[in-house]
Amino acid sequence: MEADLGFLIGLFGHTLTFWWVIIPTIFLGLVVGAIPGFSAANTIIILLPLTLAMDVEVGLIFMVSLYCSSRMGAGIPAILVNIPGTAGAAATPLDGYPMTKQGRSQQALSMSFVASAFGGLLTTILAIIAMPVLAEVGYYMHSVEMIVVMLFGISLIASIAARDMLKGLIAGFLGLMIGSIGTDVVYATPRGTMGFLELYDGVPLIPALVGLFAVSEAFIIIEKKSIVTDEGREIMAAPSWAATFEGAAIAFRHWWHITWNSIIGLIIGVIPGAGASIASFVAYQQSRTYSKTPHLYGTGHPEGLIAPESANNGVTSGTLIPLLILGIPGGATAAIMLIVLQYHGVNFGPSLFFDQPELAYGVFTAMAITYLLMIFTILPLSRYMSRVTLVSTTYMAPMIIAFTLVGSFVSREYMFDMYLGLVFGVIGYIARRTNYHVAAILIGVILGPLLETYFLRALKKSEGDLMVLFSSSLGNILWLVLIASLLMPMVLGFRRRRAVANTQAGT
């Protein structure tokens, strides 16, 4: 399964000759990712006849490039207008959007692009080197371990609630309650569906995402003249390349932050069904926990933007490892790749690396080249993309509502989802007006159903014994890490307060 350096260099050079496929696909993926409701998965489905007609190598490079660039594109509206393009970018607005309101959108975009590209590039290289080891992760991550991983993401609610504990917890529990709507995973009994058949599969994620972030934000900004504050408009009055280079420099200075958060994304990506949303929430929570300045998170802090963007791009290479080695897709996009490659007669498993190594390793070389080219093609665009925020809200708000409601319709093609997006928009607007954090609600909506599924699966295997949650050695280690993560902010806060008190006593 291992490949020598000469083979990989030769394959890299060969894949680079397909630049004529990769560069246009990067821009397509950028647009696809930036439109809420669209994703690489449904775009590949739309273009399925085209991918099936392509040569298998060209089709694979096209799908991989689209997957990587759409993941980066999802962060653009999250930063500029507080609208995550996908659930994987749901943690990006927590610090990205405050930067935009401060007039630092150009800087934020360039930080995001650098963190995304180098996070994805690093994990792609690591995936090639450590593929045999990473492939084993899926065997060890069972229901118990996944429960703890989910709790890492849900514990972010506690971090959000730190400023107002009661309101933060209320918002989080509301999200968990909304996430429980649908048929029970054991007995298929409808819960809270209010007679709507469209809710039997659970609350669809895209309308919830669009409503809580996009529609509610449109209701808020329409009361203002501009998204950007007056001070921010003065900063953006004289556009230059300086902010782009400054943002890139800040990201490079946080190279270690990019590294370990992208590795979190890689490991979570290897687990089938986990995905970028879990990775971004876990990375943000861990970044804030071990930061020297946790109080700055949520105010436009660079580390709070870099962490989720590194992690959700680190997921991309991880999701393809179980696909290639085990034939188990790690996500929706990987599942569609599986269909296309099987149509072309590709057999997955360890034999793929011996029978067709140029195809197996070509996936990762195509991914590496895509991330490299994105630095040169997308980074210069941050200067021009940031100007969107200067558009008057008189035009911005109706456009946001129109485009995002169309995005709600796309995923399932139900008119009901558009109405649901408006309902969530009203909920989000009321939450914002009463100082409840919509991100806490969304965390509950996304992670609540997943947590319930794994929890009930674990109980079913153990015949209802709750001690099964502590029956795994790896699970127990993760429990200890989770407890340490929750206690660490209190310990660090106590030490900082004591240091300040000692300093004041000394003076």
User: What are the pLDDT tens digits along the chain (507 aa)?
Assistant: 556 788 888 999 999 999 999 999 999 989 888 877 677 777 887 787 788 888 888 989 999 999 999 989 999 989 988 888 788 888 999 999 999 989 899 999 999 999 999 999 999 999 988 877 776 666 677 788 888 888 887 877 777 766 677 788 888 888 888 988 988 877 778 888 888 888 888 888 888 988 888 888 888 888 777 777 777 777 776 667 888 899 999 999 999 999 999 999 998 888 876 678 888 988 998 898 888 888 889 889 999 999 999 999 999 998 888 888 777 776 778 878 888 888 888 877 777 888 888 888 889 999 999 999 998 888 888 888 888 877 778 888 888 888 888 878 877 888 999 999 999 999 999 998 998 888 888 888 888 888 888 888 888 888 888 888 888 888 898 899 888 877 777 776 777 777 777 777 765
Q: Is the pTM of this model over 0.95?
A: no
Q: Name the residue among 383, 314, 298, 371 with its Cα closest to residue 82.
A: 298
Q: What pLDDT does residue 21 have?
A: 92
Euclidean distance between CA atoms 69 and 459, whole angstroms: 39
Cβ neighbour number for residue 467 with a 10 Å cutoff: 7
Q: In this structure, what DSSP letter does residue 388 have? A: G
Q: In this structure, what DSSP letter does residue 389 have? A: G
* In contact, 144 and 469? CB cutoff 8 Å: yes
Euclidean distance between CA atoms 71 and 315, whole angstroms: 10
Per-domain boundaries in the chain: 5-506
Euclidean distance between CA atoms 264 and 250, whole angstroms: 21
Q: What pLDDT does residue 278 have?
A: 85
Q: What pLDDT does residue 220 have?
A: 87
Q: What are phi and psi of 191, to 5 degrees?
A: -130, 120
Residue 193 has which token pair? 């569906």
| Residue listed under structure tokens 């993941």 | 71
Which residue type occupies 5?
L
Q: State the DSSP string of 444-485.
A: HHHHHHHHHHHHHHHHHHTTT-GGGGG--HHHHHHHHHHHHH
Q: What pLDDT does residue 383 have?
A: 83
Listed in sequence order, the residues at least 6 apart from 359 whose beta carbon sits closer than 8 Å to its beta carbon are: 56, 57, 60, 346, 352
Euclidean distance between CA atoms 401 and 405, whole angstroms: 6
Euclidean distance between CA atoms 333 and 316, whole angstroms: 10
Q: Name the residue among 41, 4, 119, 89 with its Cα closest to residue 367.
A: 119
Burial of 231 (0-12, 13-18, 19+ CB in 10 A): exposed
Residue 10 has which token pair? 């030769």
| Residue listed under structure tokens 């034999």 | 351
Euclidean distance between CA atoms 420 and 505, whole angstroms: 57
Start-to-end CA span in the chain (Å)? 64
Specify which residues 191 forms β-bridges with. Answer: 182
Q: Name the residue among 458, 487, 439, 469 with its Cα closest to residue 148.
A: 469
Specify which residues 182 forms β-bridges with. Answer: 191
Q: Name the residue among 340, 338, 358 with its Cα closest to residue 348.
A: 338
| Residue listed under structure tokens 């997943």 | 450
* Cα three-residue angle 315-444-261, rounded to 5 degrees: 30
Dihedral angle, C-alpha 356, 276, 466, 165, nearest 10 °: 170
- Ranges of beta strands (E only) in 53-130 are none
